[in-house]
Amino acid sequence: MPYILSTQAMDGFYGTFYKTTIAMRKQIAAANWKMNGTYQQAESLLNEILQAKIALKPFQEVIFAVPFPYLIMSNSVVANEYHYHISAQNCYHKASGAFTGEVSAEMLRSIGIRYCVIGHSERREYFGEDNALLAGKADLCLKNEITPLFCCGEPLAVRESGNQNQYVADQIEASLFHLNKEDFSRVIIAYEPIWAIGTGKTAAAEQAQEMHSFIRSTLKKKYGEETAAATPILYGGSVKANNAAELFACEDVDGGLVGGASLAADDFIEIVKALKG
């Protein structure tokens, strides 16, 4: 849904009129490489995708969430590409200290990283990350001028019980609704039903649209129409080259967070080309 970016008064022969600039909210294809590939494979994959020279519109972006050891290299590969950004897949929920093996938001910022995935269901499940802990990560990201790419989504049992809306609203409220409007306006949301991640079982376009529209209405109640209309809400869960266009065409689906299919250049290029525009 387009939203009004600015309204500018202009004087002309017929008096004052208003030039309204309508902008699309950001449409984003985000790759989540997870713990896959070597440094050399990561470098070739990035270069292969960039060589496709996809014609992106001003409001379209591509984000690669790469493993920590590849962040600096990846950032330098995309350095001259206006629409391409690099993201971390995680950061720690404390600012600094004796947390051996962890990586802070400040460290990410110090190497020029401006995006970080937080709350991926794999981190919630395997590393016990809960909504309260993720609130701390969101704060630290924002404090360090890093855009959090916040993942939410229900497990199969919740979907089968019909309580998915409440479950997802609770995740968003508990981790993000303490943010003021200005900070929240820097957040990207990714709705990823757990039953669709890595399973090959994609949510139907109607299911995705229904949830995305519900999320947007939840954001509207808290932050108002303008902020809700401008927040990118990505869909994740077995997005592939052959289903991306149908999912992304949904009014409230602003692109995707893509796992498996982001590891093959040809597939991911097709997914980027499927962005609304």
The residue within the footprint of ligand PEP, chosen from 197, 228, 253, 275 (CB under 6 A), is 197
Q: Which is nearest to 147 in space by CA: 123, 170, 181, 118?
A: 118
Indicate whether 192 belongs to the interface with ligand PEP (CB under 6 A): yes
47, 74 in Cβ contact below 8 A? no
Nearer to ligand PEP, 198 or 277 (CB): 198
Cβ neighbours of 6 (radius 10 Å): 9
CA 184 → CA 105, 234, 239, distances in Å? 17, 16, 26
Which residue's structure tokens are 């525009």?
Answer: 277
In the three-class reduction of DSSP (H, G, I as helix; E, B as strand; rest coil), residue 151 is classed as strand
The residue within the footprint of ligand PEP, chosen from 90, 209, 238, 243 (CB under 6 A), is 238
232, 254 in Cβ contact below 8 A? yes
Indicate whether 189 belongs to the interface with ligand PEP (CB under 6 A): no
Piece in contact with ligand PEP (CB under 6 A), picked from 41-49, 52-60, 91-99, 192-200: 192-200
The residue within the footprint of ligand PEP, chosen from 69, 198, 224, 277 (CB under 6 A), is 198
The residue within the footprint of ligand PEP, chosen from 119, 153, 255, 259 (CB under 6 A), is 259
Indicate whether 237 belongs to the interface with ligand PEP (CB under 6 A): yes
DSSP per residue, 72-128:
HHHHHHSTT-TTEEEEES---SSSSSS-TT---HHHHHHTT--EEEE--HHHHHHS-
120 is annotated as an active-site residue: yes
What is the distance between the terminal CA atoms of the chain, rounded to a whole angstrom? 11
Indicate whether 257 belongs to the interface with ligand PEP (CB under 6 A): yes
Per-residue x/- track, 83-122, ligand PEP (CB under 6 A): ----------------------------------------
Nearer to ligand PEP, 148 or 237 (CB): 237
The residue within the footprint of ligand PEP, chosen from 27, 32, 90, 147 (CB under 6 A), is 32
Q: Which residues bind ligand PEP (CB under 6 A)?
A: 32, 192, 197-198, 236-239, 257-261
Return the active site residues.
120, 192
